[in-house]
Amino acid sequence: MGAEERAPCAPEAPLLVFTDLDGTLLDHHGYGWQGAAAALAALKERGAPLVFVSSKTRAELLPLQEQMGLAGLPLVAENGGVVFVPPAWRDPLEATGGQISFSPAGVVCLGAPYARVRQVFARLRQGYGAVGFGDMEAAEIAARTGLDLRSAARAKERECSEPFVCHADVAVLKKAVASAGMTVTCGGRFFHLLAAGQDKGKAVRFLATLYAQMRKQPVLTIGLGDAPNDLPLLRAVDIPVVVPRPDGSRLAWPEGRPRIAPWAGSQGWGEAMIRLLAELDGQS
């Protein structure tokens, strides 16, 4: 179980899966997801929504959803700052007079506007030599990430966070931006500047609540991640799964012994999910 107290769910409860992408569902090198194909098919057959929860932009995630047959499902972009909610998930909230403000496209922003993020980022650029995506051309982002140029250009279409490179310690960077209401988190490749209080866990809890309202019953949540910025995601779900890195190291989990995927990337993700689904089926 995650660190937070939640009402117990029966094994037959509707399943909702949240996953990080880079280094988790997507391979660290090459961004392939074919190793998870069988598990993705099993989730689709089960009717279990798979929600991307990533530091990537909405512009990056929408085409990836299309490629993987997941178009129309919710998504969480930019480390919890941007949440897309499809109409079926919004209806219960709107019917009860919920105060969440959605854009016409069904997007709710939980972070600070990108212009404000870049304004604060100037402190890190001037004081610590940080270089952000807003300072880079698409070609440089492509060279640093292995993305193609089109995907790298989409990575620049940011709404509420700034990935960056810097040689300073994360604690120093956090202190430098704290007075501006911002914080810094670590992903698999980059630091990320974002609003204080913005994280993947808040967005996960928000969507899990909406899905439970839509299904009119408690839901069972699974979360998979590999990096420090995934800790809030993992703490917000019923069953957290840590995916190891390609070198065999893995995210430190302070809340006891989490489930560990057997391998890195999509292959480990897929095998962990297949085993977990079999275990849940055995309990029902």
CA distance 158 to 163: 9
Structure token digits, residue 87: 């109409």
Helices and strands (H, E) in the chain, number of each type? 10, 12
User: In 3D, which of 127, 134, 227 has the Cα closest to residue 173?
Assistant: 127
**Residues whose CB is less than 8 angstroms from the CB of residue 255 and which lie 6 or more positions away in sequence, other chains included:** 2, 3, 235
Active site residues: 20
User: Is 175 strand, coil or helix?
Assistant: helix
| C-alpha distances out from residue 204 to 174, 223, 259, Å | 23, 9, 19
